[in-house]
Every structure is written in C-alpha cells, then in structure tokens.
Amino acid sequence: MTLNVDTPAPARRPGPRRTAGHRSPGRGGRGFARFDLRATPYFLVSPYFLLFAIFGVFPLGYTLWVSLYDWELAGDKTFLGLDNYINLITDGAFWNAVVNTLGMFVISTIPQLVLALIIANALNKRIRGRLFFRLGVLLPLVTSVVAVAVVFTQLYGRDYGMINWFLGLFGVDAIEWQNQSWSAWIAISTMIDWRWTGYNAIILLAAMQTIPKDLYEAAALDGASPRRQFWQITVPMLRPTLVFVVFISTIGGLTLFTEPVMFEGNPTMAGGATGQYQTVAMFIVKEAFRDFDMGYASAAAWLLFALILIGTLINYSFTRRIGGKK
Amino acid sequence: MLNTKRHGKLAAVAVMAATALAITSCGSNEPAKSAAGGGASAPAAEPVTITVHTFGGGANFGYKKAVETWNAAHPNIQVKYQNLTDRFEDVYLPQLLQKLQAGSGTGDIVGIDEGAMGLMKARPQFFTDLAQYGLDSRKTDFPAAKWDNGINKDGKLFALGTDIGGMGMCYRKDLLEKAGLPGERDEVSKLWPDWASFMEIGKKFQAANPGKGAPKFLDGPNTLYNVVLSQEAPKNGNIAYFDTGNQLVIDKNPAIKTSFDTVKSYSEAGLTAKLASFTPEWNAAIKKGGFAVMGCPAWMLGVISGNAGDEGKGKWDVAGVPGGAGNWGGSYLAVPAQSKHPKEAAEVLNYLTGKEGHVAAFQEAGAFPSSLSGQQDPAVADMKNGFFSDAPTGKIFSDSVKDLLPVFLGEKHAQVKTAAEKVLEGMDKGSIPYGEAWTRFIEAGTKAAG
C-alpha cells in the first residue's frame, strides 16, 4: 500500500508529496528507510504465509508422505511406494464416490447458479424494500451447515418427515429418500442450494452494480428488451465474477461432506447401505477414521486434489466462453 | 485447496486441543510440584483428578452414582466422569485411537467395548499393565472368558470387565395387548420359546396392525441379527467373523450364515420397521412406539429408557429371549499408558469394576455385572426395573448368562461388523435385493477386513 501511494500522487499534489516521500529520513538512516519501505509490507503479510506454511504446506507434504505407506492409525507402518494409488484407481468404491460427488455437484450447482443469476438480476432492479431482500437471501448462509442438514434430514424423514407427509396428500407412497441414488442426491442438493444460492446471488449482484448504467440506457434507446439486455450486457460483463463463482462452487461441490454425513444419521461415513451418496470426502474420512488406514486415505485425498484441479480447469474453459462470441 | 483447508482445520483443532490439554494438565500438576518442593512426605495429601471416559446412550455406563460415592469418600482422588458420545464403533473408537497415537487426550481410565478388544489387545504399548498395581488378584472375581479377554498380546493384564450383555426381549406391553396378544411377561416368554414360534407371533402381530404408519413387530435387522449371532457363535466354535488365528471366516462360519438367514426371513416377511439401530429415526421410533419388540442385551435397557423418556415408563417390559442364552456386548475399563497417575487410576478402576461399582451401574443403567460377586449380590439378583414395569431384570439376565461361553473377536471385528450390518440395513430397506444380499455381505466384510 505505501509503495503505491507514493507513485501516483505527484502530479496532483506536488507540495505534500515532498514531505510524504521524505518522512522516513527523519526517523532513521537512508539504509533503514529503504529496508523499512521494502521489508515492512512483507513483514505485515507474513502472518498469513506463516500460518499457511504451518497449516497448509506442511499437512500437504505430510499427507503425500503418509500416502506412500501402509499407515495404520496407532499401529504398524510399512513403505508401499505408489501401491495405495494403484489400489485406489482400481477400487470400485472410490469411483462410486467420485460419481456420486460429480452427480451431486452437477444437479446442485447448475440450478443454483441459474437461480442465483435470476435472483441477483431481480435484486438489481428498483424494488421496494431492496435492502430487506438483499439481506434476506444471505440469511441461509448465517445458519450452521449442521443445523441446515439436521432440519432437512428431518423434512426428508421416511416415517415422520414433512415432505413425505405432503406427498402423501397426493396419494404418493412414502419415499425412503436415503435408499436410492437419485432421491438421496436430490435431497442433499436441496440442502446445498438452500444454503449457497443467496451467497452466490449477492456476489453476482455486487458485480452487476459495477456495470455502467449508460450501457443499459444506450441499449434501451436502441430498443433492446430487458431480456436481451440481460443476455447481451449483464451476462458478458459478469464473466470474471462468474468464473470466480464457478471456481468456488466447484471446490465446494467436490469436497461435499457435512450434508451427506448428517443426512445419513449415523456417522459411519458409508453414505447409505450401498454407498449411494458417499462422497469422496466421506470416502477419505471413512478410510482414515473408520478403517484406520491413513495411507490409503491420504492417497485418496491427493487424488481428490487432482480431481478438483481438473474440474476447475474444465469449468474455467467453459465459463471463459460466456459472451465470447460478442 | 480444500485438501489444505481440511488439514488446516484439523491441525488447528489439534493445536487448540493440545493447548487446552497443556493448560489442564499443568493445572493438575501444579499442586503436586509445589508440594514436592515443600518436602511434603505424604503423597496422599496431594489431590489428584482421575478422568474416566466412556460411551453409550441413555444412562451409558451408569457411573454417576458410583462416582459420587467415590468422590465423597476420597477427597484426594477426585474422579471426573465424562461420557463422550453415544456411538462406540464409529465415533468413540476412532477418537480413542487418535488420542493414543497422539500421546495425549485420553482419560486416565477409558471404557472399551468388547468389539474393539481384539484391536486394543494388539496394541499393548498404549496401555498400563494393571498387574503392576496388584489387580491380577481379581482373577477369581470374573468368569474365565471375561478375564482372559483383558489380557493383551504381550500377556499383560490391561483391562478389567464392567458389564456383560446377557439377553432378554424388550417389548411394548400396550402394543402387544392391542394386537390381541398377552402382555404379561411370563406369558409373553411362553409365547416364544424358540425362533419358529417367535416368527408366528410376529405374523399375528402384523396381521393385527395392517396399513401404513401402524407399528411393526421388530425395529430393524441389527438387533435381531446380533441376538441370533450371540446364540449361534457358541455352537460353532465360539467364533464370529474371525477364527482364533485372526483369519476372516465370514463366509465359512455357519453361525454368521444362520444369523443372516434369520434376519432375511423376518425382513422378507415384512416384520421389521426397517430402522437402522442408533439413528435418530430409531430413537424416535422407540419413543413413539414404532415397533413392539426388540432384542435386548442388558445394557440396551439403559438405551431404551434413556430414549423413551418418562412417558415410556410402564409401557415397556422385558421377557425371555427365544432360543436361550447368549452374550452381546459388554465392556471393559483400561488405563492408557499416557495417564499421569496410573496408580490412582488403577485404584479407581478397581473400584468401578468391583462389586460396589458393578451393582451401582446395574441399578443406574441396567449394565449387568460381569463379576461373579456382583451377579450374586442380592441388590442385583433381586433387582426389579421400574421403567420396564418392574420386570425382575436381575433374574432374567443372570439366567441368561449362566452357561455363557466366550466368543473370540478378531482385531478388525468392529470394522467388519459395521460393514456387514450396513448390508443388512440395505437389504431390509430394499436398496440391496434379497438375492444379492449374501454375496454383498461377504464382499463388504472381506473389504473391511483387508
């Protein structure tokens, strides 16, 4: 910050700049001034990097190390090399978890982003009680994930759940929501959407407000309908923000954990009797803390990392094209 | 990225926990140090806090009263009793292993479920040898099976028995009567001397309760499965999923197959409420009368009364189990090597697993004593359970453990059990077809053992 303040200032305020630029010699020698100027910013940001090194880089490296062993929790450790990775790639349960995760990601994220875009566009208009609605869409985010999951799980309960009661009014038989992939995926996706749609909407809204109003005025003069304005102006101008939102959703979606765990009721991390909604994150925790195989779990964690990288790249190439044909 | 985040969180929690531990352990060490500096000669003058960690739903181990009694009599050894969770296999056990590995965080005394004793026996380095504090003198107090299970791979005594899972059948008196069946416990016991007649009663019950939302005969597959397995295992060499050489025999042991087939027949006949044990829905069904009968090892009484609450009092009762004796569950207490006060911890352990502790736990939580002196104590033998319509639970459970034989449980018993029971739940709920269930059952068990 200090470095930047100095450079653009001179043209407009030559007088004050002089004193501002030379305030350091008064406090110490010239050498110290330069050191101060250069090192202070690094010093000021260092806590983040220190914490990142301790809680970010170290566990990453350690996980990689553990993933090369048959590492039993409070037990024996034998070096395996890449065996864990090879076993994982041929492990049907792992791929089942990957398919579940991707499935839930797709059916939760696409409607969520579309909905967020629509909500943001609506909130961007002149409506009465705008602040109330804007805060309102953020409210779900304030509640704890666990509370959300507990409430939704009860709503989806087979015997005493409200959704089955409601469906029952139309003569639909009680659905065992946990039992099949499709129903479990839907139930879990609604939990995710309920919580995150408003969050994404607010981010998109903030970006929408930076779009110059004269673009819309010009378009309106040319006779463009609001719908056309939305697709031709708003969406292309939102591209960088959409990329960000898609990134965050990809990372969140691929590491989905709390909702399906709570949905299961008893935290065995199995994701249903046949693993119909076991996510990769649950698979990792199950291997590590239910079957006590830390090495295998670490290898799975690294594969998940790779999966997220690939997913993010794919999504990036998609979102980059939004409005590209302009 | 999330990878880092997750580990970051874990590490942060670990650091916080470690700090908290450091602070608390400093707290308890402080007086000891200053007293030593002052040259005090009597070590008994320094108050020591012994933490006891257990698990279990409802009244769990039932140590509230026993600990109060101890604390009142021993100002220098204060016991702090914490029940960490109601779930053993998937919550308590992984946490305990992590704390053992980390070298801090366990209680001075920890409860261990029978199902994980194989795992703990294979890790002698984490536990204190209790013989060192003279507890090997207790050998004659216990049935041989219970005692032998507390001896680890190195041949050291590391755990003493708390309760034992003698067997009964808990049932809702009001629901049976509503279905036109007798409700009085002796008559109920006569209704089902064996599993064939139990099935007939179940069908009668279902016929009287048709339609959606009506109560079912049984809760779900797990309790039935474990009751049958506890009877079948002693008939087949006293092994369950593993043989005594720790080899998986899930596909070879006839006891497993018989238990599986029994559960399957009840599920196919539609006699279960399709509930997985120890889930919120199961708890709700216990409270709301979603089913009429449930297999009940002694410790389950505490779970039911805890879940059902006061309004369930008098509606429940306990009858005999079809097919005779069996043991499901039961626990142990051990002193981890990381305890700072192993001597005092051993003293407390001795008390809690002694006659007095056993009797108090039975009165509070229905945990049936594993010690012979506890079982013979009139307070246990003549005990009636108020919640269960004054059922003579002391007599029911002592009868059911009379000819009990030990069942060997392998090192990975808990994992295999969890995986196998998942398949039973899936079969019962319909996500696994009946025709595929047995293959899936073996697959899941084999994978968990590997």
**What is d(CA B132, CA B125) in angstroms, rounded to the nearest whole number?**
15
Task: Please check whether residue B201 lies inside any domain of the structure.
Answer: yes
Flag whether residue A174 sits within 8 Å of chain B, measured between CB atoms: yes
Cα R_g (chain B), whole angstroms: 23
Question: Is there a single domain that holds both residue B441 and residue B316?
Answer: yes
Is the model more confident about B32 or about B450? B450
Question: Is there a single domain that holds both residue B258 and residue B125?
Answer: no
Flag whether residue A297 sits within 8 Å of chain B, measured between CB atoms: no
- Residue B14: the pLDDT is 46
Number of neighbouring beta carbons within 10 Å of residue A165: 13
Task: Please check whether residue B140 lies inside any domain of the structure.
Answer: yes
The percentage of residues in chain B with a pLDDT greater than 70, rounded to a whole number, is 90
Domain count, chain B: 2
- Residue B423: the pLDDT is 94
Choose the mutation target among A292, A302, A304 for the interface with B, i.e. most B CBs under 10 Å.
Answer: A292
Determine the 3-state secondary structure of B306 from DSSP.
helix
Q: How far is B157 from chain A (nearest CA, A)?
A: 20
For A265, the closest of B123, B280, B290 (CB atoms) is B280
- Residue B21: the pLDDT is 42
- Residue B35: the pLDDT is 38
ipTM of the complex: 0.74
Q: Per-residue pLDDT for A297 more than 90?
A: yes
Task: Please check whether residue B368 lies inside any domain of the structure.
Answer: yes
**What is d(CA A4, CA A309) in angstroms, rounded to the nearest whole number?**
34
User: Which of A274-278, B164-168, B285-289 shows the lowest per-residue confidence on average (mean pLDDT)?
Assistant: B164-168
Confidence of residue A29 (pLDDT cuts 50, 70, 90): low
**What is d(CA A23, CA A11) in angstroms, rounded to the nearest whole number?**
19
- Residue A173: the pLDDT is 83
Question: Is there a single domain that holds both residue B228 and residue B190?
Answer: yes
Flag whether residue A93 sits within 8 Å of chain B, measured between CB atoms: yes
C-alpha closest to that of B348 among B71, B21, B39, B33: B71
The overall average pLDDT reported for chain B is 86
Q: Which residues of A touch B122 (CB under 8 A)?
A: 75
Q: How far is B236 from chain A (nearest CA, A)?
A: 27
The H or E element spanning position B172 is strand B167-172
Task: Please check whether residue B4 lies inside any domain of the structure.
Answer: no
Q: Per-residue pLDDT for B235 more than 50?
A: yes
Question: Is there a single domain that holds both residue B252 and residue B315?
Answer: yes
Confidence of residue A294 (pLDDT cuts 50, 70, 90): very high
Q: Per-residue pLDDT for A176 more than 90?
A: no
Flag whether residue A24 sits within 8 Å of chain B, measured between CB atoms: no
Question: Is there a single domain that holds both residue B187 and residue B286?
Answer: yes
Question: Is there a single domain that holds both residue B228 and residue B349?
Answer: no
Task: Please check whether residue B237 lies inside any domain of the structure.
Answer: yes
Q: Which residues of B touch A178 (CB under 8 A)?
A: 429
Q: The domain that contains B284 carries what CATH number?
A: 3.40.190.10
Flag whether residue B426 sits within 8 Å of chain A, measured between CB atoms: yes
Q: How far is B6 from chain A (nearest CA, A)?
A: 9
Task: Please check whether residue B6 lies inside any domain of the structure.
Answer: no
Task: Please check whether residue B3 lies inside any domain of the structure.
Answer: no
Number of neighbouring beta carbons within 10 Å of residue A172: 11
| Per-residue pLDDT reduced to its tens digit, B254-281 | 999 999 999 999 999 999 999 988 888 8
List the structure tokens of B269.
């006949």
Q: How far is B404 from chain A (nearest CA, A)?
A: 30
Check CB contact under 8 Å for A270 and B123: no
**What is d(CA A31, CA A287) in angstroms, rounded to the nearest whole number?**
56
Question: Is there a single domain that holds both residue B66 and residue B185?
Answer: no
CATH of domain A83-142+180-322: 1.10.3720.10
Flag whether residue A134 sits within 8 Å of chain B, measured between CB atoms: no
Task: Please check whether residue B387 lies inside any domain of the structure.
Answer: no
Confidence of residue B26 (pLDDT cuts 50, 70, 90): very low
Check CB contact under 8 Å for A56 and B4: yes
Q: Which residues of B touch A165 (CB under 8 A)?
A: none
Q: Which residues of B touch A71 (CB under 8 A)?
A: none
Question: Is there a single domain that holds both residue B199 and residue B87?
Answer: no
For chain A, the domains span 83-142+180-322
Helix axis angle, A162-169 to A145-155, nearest 10°:
30
- Residue A324: the pLDDT is 53
Q: Which residues of A touch B87 (CB under 8 A)?
A: 266-267
Q: Which of A65-79, A150-164, B133-147, B256-270 has the highest mean pLDDT?
A: B256-270
Question: Is there a single domain that holds both residue B119 and residue B39?
Answer: yes
- Residue A96: the pLDDT is 94
| Per-residue pLDDT reduced to its tens digit, B305-333 | 888 888 888 899 999 899 877 788 889 99
Q: Per-residue pLDDT for A213 more than 50?
A: yes
C-alpha closest to that of B292 among B169, B385, B167: B169
Question: Is there a single domain that holds both residue B28 and residue B59?
Answer: yes
Question: Is there a single domain that holds both residue B142 and residue B189?
Answer: no
Confidence of residue A22 (pLDDT cuts 50, 70, 90): very low
Flag whether residue B110 sits within 8 Å of chain A, measured between CB atoms: no
Q: Which residue(s) pair with B127 in the sheet?
A: B336
Determine the structural domain holding residue B157 and report its residue range. Answer: 15-164+330-376
Q: Where in B308-449 does DSSP place strands (E)?
A: 316-319, 331-334, 368-369
For B97, the closest of A74, A251, A276 (CB atoms) is A74
Question: Is there a single domain that holds both residue B46 and residue B192?
Answer: no
